[in-house]
Amino acid sequence: MRQVFTGARLFDGRQLREGKVLLVEDGVVHAIADLGSAMAGAFGGEKIALSGGILSPGFLDLQVNGGDGIMLDGTADIEKIRRICAAHARLGATGILPTLITDTPQATQAVIAAGVAAARNKVPGFLGLHLEGPHLDPRRKGAHDPALIRAMQDADLDQLCRAAADLPVLLVTLAPQAVTLEQISSLVRAGVIVSLGHTDSTASEAKAAFAAGARCVTHLFNAMSQLGNREPGMVGAALDCDVHAGLIADGVHVAPEGLRIALAAKQGAGLYLVSDAMAAAGTDVTEFMLGDRRILRRDGRLTLEDGTLAGADICLPRSVRYLVETVGAPLELALAMATSRPAACISASGRLGTFAAGRNADIVHLTDDLELSAVWVAGVQVSN
């Protein structure tokens, strides 16, 4: 089956291209061609004529705690992962890292087993796992259960190294206070992507962790030591070093001024968008449970009953729009932060985040005002 997408500007993962069409064959990208050839009838197949807007590679979300009414937790199995992936595909993220928030060793093992099964069964949209904790700094716990936060032990290290061998991607968020530099190096050698987060680190402590192999920062600005004039903290280290960093662009977690400062400091390099979505994603529920704690959904915010932020109530298309319309980011940069930038973070630029021949036809269509219009997964429309 051949599909010819016409009528929209084409974002190829790096730049917007005018006067082009996207050719898809049997669910796989075949080529980007000139509009004139398509109009002349050079290409057969189904013509998908779009009324303006932007056609982009499917968005990639590296921090997704849940969706479709469920959280990723110790009850995880392949079907729950399938549901979470499908829910986010309908919201524009055709590739995700389902994310486990700090939990018990047993829950961690259950999620790893479910993730391995999802990978072996090629669940659409499943890129791997993100384990956010439990090896964090309790001083910056955020919504994580402090009773479950703990230092990394040898058994934890062995578990993570084994998991990295069985998963396509394993990203682990940890705090330098909860691990040794040698443990970070061991994780990196095993193929784990180590991200720093939920930490009250000094800039020098963070930079030592980067030198040991950590190369990412989880939800920059949130749950970490802030930029000071004499102590730059975790934020300062992230902005000063050549590392990747996720950003929650929802108007709640980071002020627009903070986002502009991050974009200016890093010249956009390494920054990518995350939703930090919870069970509410893709539903109209107004509350749900995180373990034994109630999460409230009010006015675009997700909070514990004491007001502590507990994830975000946003999807990546809305984040792109917020970056462009409120923060003033260039459109190409905002789109790259949802496509090619997260792909680079997980060393997947060779297979994700751009339109290239032979890649799955995972496609997002945005209207001219950057609202989500339609989503295709492997050439099959799943949302409109």
pLDDT tens, the chain, 384 aa long: 899 999 999 999 999 999 999 999 999 999 999 887 655 466 678 899 999 999 999 999 999 999 999 999 999 999 999 999 999 999 999 999 999 999 999 999 999 999 999 999 999 999 999 999 999 999 999 999 999 999 999 999 999 999 999 999 999 999 999 999 999 999 999 999 999 999 999 999 999 999 999 999 999 999 999 999 999 999 999 999 999 999 999 999 999 999 999 999 998 789 999 999 999 999 999 999 888 899 999 999 999 999 999 999 999 999 999 999 999 999 999 999 999 999 999 999 999 999 999 999 999 999 999 999 999 999 999 987
Angstrom distance (rounded) from CA 99 to CA 133: 10
Q: What are the CA-CA distances from residue 141 to residues 199, 223, 272, 309 (Å)?
A: 8, 7, 23, 11
pTM over 0.75: yes
Angstrom distance (rounded) from CA 88 to CA 96: 8
In the chain, where the domains are located: 2-56+355-383, 59-345
Strands (E) located in 84-148: 93-101, 129-132
Domain boundaries 59-345, CATH class: alpha beta
Q: What are the CA-CA distances from residue 27 to residues 4, 137, 192, 238, 362 (Å)?
A: 12, 44, 31, 39, 8
Angstrom distance (rounded) from CA 74 to CA 314: 24
CATH number for 2-56+355-383 (one of 1.10.3720.10, 2.30.30.90, 3.30.365.10, 2.30.40.10): it is 2.30.40.10
So which residues are the catalytic ones?
276
